[in-house]
A = this chain, B = another copy of it.
Amino acid sequence: MDFITLLGLIAGILTTLAYLPQAIKTWQSKSADDISWSMLIILSVGIVLWLVYGVSIRNIPLIVANVVTFFLTSIILVLKIRYKNVV
């Protein structure tokens, strides 16, 4: 694997796993008020489209990255719904 491909791979891993600390923080703090509903929803729709796109062009890294990202952003969305009325 050449350096540039490796760069793309690391970029993909970082922008995918970046949501893991957010999911953990939201789970621990039981608070998600500062997180924007629109961001989560638009991001999730965008990720699903990336997934469909990745499947269409049979691009494994794109599929794997977006499955993981979708899983993490869904957790944050579910936690935000769950903690909505927690005062």
Number of residues of chain A lying within 8 A (CB) of chain B = 41
Interfacial chain B residues near A10, Cβ < 8 Å: 46, 49
Pick the contact of A17: B42, B50, B57 (CB < 8 A). Answer: B42
The oligomer's copy count stands at 2
Q: Do the beta carbons of B47 and A22 come within 8 Å of each other?
A: no
Do most interface residues of chain A lie in helix, strand or loop, or is the interface mixed? helix
Q: Does A87 contact B (CB under 8 A)?
A: no
Cα–Cα, bound, A20→B39 (Å): 7
Smallest beta-carbon distance A3→chain B, Å = 9
Interfacial residues, chain A to chain B (CB-CB below 8 A): 4, 7-8, 10-22, 24-26, 29, 31-40, 42-43, 45-47, 49-50, 52-53, 56-57
